[in-house]
Amino acid sequence: MTLPALLRGMERSGRSRTDFQVSCPLFVVTGADDNELAANAVGTRKQIAFYASTPAYRKVLELHGWGDLQTELHRLSLAGEWDQMGSLIDDEMLRTFAVVASLGELPTAIHQRCDGVIDRVLIGFPSSVGDDTVSSVLQKIRSAA
């Protein structure tokens, strides 16, 4: 939704896409194994649900056919039902809004998801991932660009 508007504005101002860097924070679900992936997905589901509960994100949900979910998430947010909200974000929604991959597959998954669209990504890693692993994964992401 944002990139087409950005490109139209750049065209109107006489600039090209190469004159501009698109940066984007990513929702990332990762871990060393399936158990870590599942555990780390819980927090990301809650975060996605929080954003999706706000009226400003309804159009994004509608784009994917999930507009009615915004109404329910908003209702639950007003009731303080944060845990229940996260449970409404199913695997399809999670994979639509987040990069979900094991640590070994993460660099390739990010590259496939973002190449040609996002120039610079911001990634948060779960606290279970050690500094050496983070450095290694980031180096692989940089070399894939």
Give yes or no for a contact between 103 and 137, defined as CB atoms under 8 angstroms apart.
yes
> Residue 125's domain is classified under what CATH number?
3.20.20.30
Tell me the torsion sign for CA atoms 9, 13, 17, 20: negative
Distance CA 125, CA 134 (A): 7
pLDDT over 80 (residue 1): no
pTM value? 0.87
Look up the domain containing 73 and give its range: 11-144
Count of structural domains, the chain: 1
14-18, 91-95, 109-113: least confidently modelled range: 14-18
Residues 6+ apart with CB under 8 A from 28: 44, 98, 99, 106, 110, 123, 124, 125
Which carries the bigger pLDDT value, residue 127 or residue 81? 81
Residue 145 binned pLDDT confidence (cut-offs 50, 70, 90): low
On the question of pLDDT at 144 being above 80, the answer is: no
Is residue 6 one of the residues assigned to a domain? no
